[in-house]
Structure 1
Amino acid sequence: MTDPKLNAPSDVDDDDVDAPVRPRRKGIYILPNLFTLAALFGGFYGIVMAMNGRFEQSAYGIFCAMVLDSLDGRVARMTNTQSTFGEQMDSLSDMVSFGAAPALIMYVWALQGLGKLGWIAAFVYCASAALRLARFNTNIGVVDKRFFQGVPSPAAAALVVGLVWVMDDAGYTAVHTNPQLAWVAFGFTLYAGLTMVTNVPFYSFKDVSFKRSVPFIVIVAIALGIALINIHPPSVLFGVFCIYGVSGYVVYAYRRMKGKPVSVIATSTDEPDEQGLHR
């Protein structure tokens, strides 16, 4: 005997059963993205100031963007507000603040006096920043976190804009009409750009933990460092980033001489803590 319940019409529409469940929309975390937007504004501000011939203010914008860019990721991790949207927003902000902005600032300041070679150097820097950011995003799971693969784009921007800041503070104006300084700017721009896309390891400072206790002398050293910067911020900051800008090549040469691996790409993605790095 057939159960009448089996032949009874169902109250549920077949279209409703087969229809895919729409994913729930995710919101955007405000706090870390505010830092990212502020960093983006710093890069945009630097471009606008350079267009108006105010190069010192341009440097302020880029260096402020550097500080804000270093904070947004830490804020996201501290508040547990990491998101894919935030990662993509951070990369786009970096491209403007540390890729396009320094290239345009340097071009307006000095490189336009070199004609085609000037804008080619600016483009090489801008393209290198884009390539470096794309490589960073794709290799993030296989790179030794203690090192950057090539100089990071904020440090490259500090090399380029730091030169502008130091020379402008020293009273040099209309640099694009001075061939000697224009060629110096040309060299700095190419060096910073090409160093971004090398495989040379640069220390990332990511293994420095702010949650651990440190000896008292460390706090004293930080206070002295702040005092030293205040003596003459353009020269001191530019000098620090110049040292960092060549440190990777020193580490590379040292590893080569000792016969140690120099690549920052780990040999296995299954062992993120692996000590060995292949050449």
Structure 2
Amino acid sequence: MPRTRTVERSRLVPHTIDGTTHLVLDRYTEDVPLPPRDWDRIVLTSVTAAAAVIGAASILWSTASIGSLLDIVVPLTAAAYAAALVFDLVWLSCMALEWLARYDQERAVLPRRAGYVALGIAMGAVGTHGWISGEFAIGCVAATVSGLAKVMWTVVLRHHSKPLDARTQQWVDAERAKAGGRLAMVSVRRELTRAEQAVTAEQAALSGASGLSPDGNPDRPESQQESPDSEDQPTATGPMTIADAVRTAVSSGITSPDAVLRYVRKVADANAKESSVERYLRGTRKAS
């Protein structure tokens, strides 16, 4: 007889009282068959858990052995065992990177090779501890603990890895490159924005020092009086606050209070008060 489990379901049914019918919610239970046990998944999960336990035991064993070796020359015992922990953590970290690259065999090559190199160094350190202690054979046996843990994890990773065919891999690489390009453009646009703000501040400083308008022509109040509508008045609120404009001007090399005030009124607030700009200017100079 197949195994079943009880599931609570609901449905809308008509219900009539005094000739008026409404749809009401009716709850009921139903026995549904259970799927057969996925023994493949159970076995794979058990093997992965066993590999995790073996890896933890390998870390403890190697740390104790290499820490005892380093403790001979290091006066601080805690530092010796902390350094010993690095030996196994390196190749375990390389295996974690190999796991992340399980869908891209080309990217998994480097962490796999680096993991083998780190494993060889760790096993050599454990064997050296046994040789110094006068038990070289025991040291060799102890070194195989890390080797067995590495072999176990390599087999598990190979079983979990899902290589892609050549065309699918090229498609994935193209999508990854597209996303990487968009991410890189964020920092590039930020850099360009800073450069444009610096150029604007520099132009404002030069025009203020030479008595020229930003377009390179001398200021002519009489011309402005003759054609008052020829130039739009600046808006009261610009793209930056007064504090931001002051900091931008100072960072661009503008030191004259009058030049800073002109720049603030140009890019931030056309009605900015001189006292407010001077207060922000003093605060910016103190902070720098």
Higher relative contact order (CA 8 A, sep 6+): 1
Question: Is the pair's TM-score, using the shorter chain for normalization, greater than 0.5?
Answer: no
Q: TM-score w.r.t. structure 1 length?
A: 0.31
More strand by share: 2
Q: Which has the larger radius of gyration?
A: 2
Q: TM-score w.r.t. structure 2 length?
A: 0.30
